[in-house]
Amino acid sequence: MPGELDPSVYKTILEDLPSAVYVVDLDRRIQFWNGWAERISGYLRQEVIGRPCSDNLLTHCDAENNLLCGAACPLQQSMCDGRMREANLFLRHKDGQRVPVRVRSMPVRDAEGSIIGAAESFDERRPRPEPQWHPGGKPAHGSLDPLTGVLDSASTEVYLRECFHDFEEDRIPFGILAMAIDDLDGIRERRGEQAEEKVLRMVATTLSKNLPGVDVVGRWKRNWFLVIVDKCPAAALPQIGAALRPVVGAAAVSWWGERLSVTISVGGAEAVANDTVESLLTRCEEALEASIARGGDGMIIA
């Protein structure tokens, strides 16, 4: 009929949407994968077309890190009952980091109304911009750590001192979390320097993408990261640490046919009256050392 759009136009629209979209058939084999899906997941379409979505690709999980394959898969549920669904989930990027996403699944029907597959769209819930600088702070040249992409130690200290200045002047609360990758030396000894570097990048990106608000993460020491939690009420620091630990633990990088995952040890401290930057860091690092001494994969807040 006059004015009817060619079906190829709809595919072009899906390709150009600023939202990740993919489509599966009844066997949950991927038939379509747009550019935004490539951008968020790290997987190119030629790597996924024809593969089942359960084939160790996005590996959706919920906030408790329960895997959502099989009967719990939103796509599978939409194909079974014909209903649309929305959920806040996590997916695993090709490089291993966990990415928080908002997922929407819906059935795909033919001209007779029969379900022939399902479509899913997903968007990052908290896309991280370039590092957010505290008012008054000025990013130095080379402020990003070249390996991990988060702030380097010098730039992290600048941000920390700006937050501490606000605490002294206006009592704006904040706290810090020091995080160490457990057994990073063992990974280096058993699998080499490149594996160690991939793990460091994975942990840094996972932390950066899963921090609330505009909180900042920087590389503090070789296998330590420092998270600065601005405007942090008393109960928030342990909650944030408890939320980040399992998300990092669910991330994994591919390495010569195996999946490398790690745990982290966490130490934290909140700024209190009569603190200095140095005393705050000392309490935080001592808490981290105590957490490591307990065997790792734990958290102590000073």
Please give the Cα distance from 119 to 129 (Å, whole number).
Answer: 28
Domain boundaries, the chain: 7-124, 153-301
- Inter-residue contact 57 to 40 (CB < 8 Å): no
Q: What is the pTM of this model?
A: 0.79
pLDDT in tens, 187-231: 999 999 999 999 999 999 999 999 877 689 999 998 999 999 988
pLDDT in tens, 26-73: 999 999 999 999 999 999 999 999 999 888 788 888 877 788 877 788
Secondary structure letter of residue 194 according to DSSP: H
3-state SS class at 24: strand
pLDDT at res. 11: 85
- Inter-residue contact 86 to 103 (CB < 8 Å): yes
Range of lowest pLDDT (67-71, 240-244, 281-285, 290-294): 67-71
Please give the Cα distance from 108 to 78 (Å, whole number).
Answer: 9
User: What is the b/e burial string over 82-99, where b = at least 16 CB atoms within 10 angstroms of the residue's CB?
Assistant: eeeeeeebbbbbbbbbbb
Instruction: Decide which of 3.30.450.20, 3.40.640.10, 3.10.20.740, 3.40.50.720 is the CATH code for 7-124.
Output: 3.30.450.20
- Inter-residue contact 229 to 176 (CB < 8 Å): yes
CA distances from 301 to 3, 267, 268 (A): 65, 6, 4
CATH T-level topology, domain 153-301: Alpha-Beta Plaits (3.30.70)
Q: Which residues pair with 266 in a beta bridge?
A: 179, 299
- Inter-residue contact 181 to 195 (CB < 8 Å): no
Q: Are strands 264-270 and 299-301 parallel, antiparallel or unpaired?
A: parallel
pLDDT in tens, 249-289: 999 998 998 889 999 999 999 999 999 999 999 999 999 99
Question: How many CA atoms lie less than 13 Å away from 251 in the CB half-sphere?
Answer: 29
Secondary structure letter of residue 144 according to DSSP: B
pLDDT at res. 40: 95
pLDDT at res. 2: 52
**Number of Cβ atoms within 10 Å of the Cβ of 166:** 18
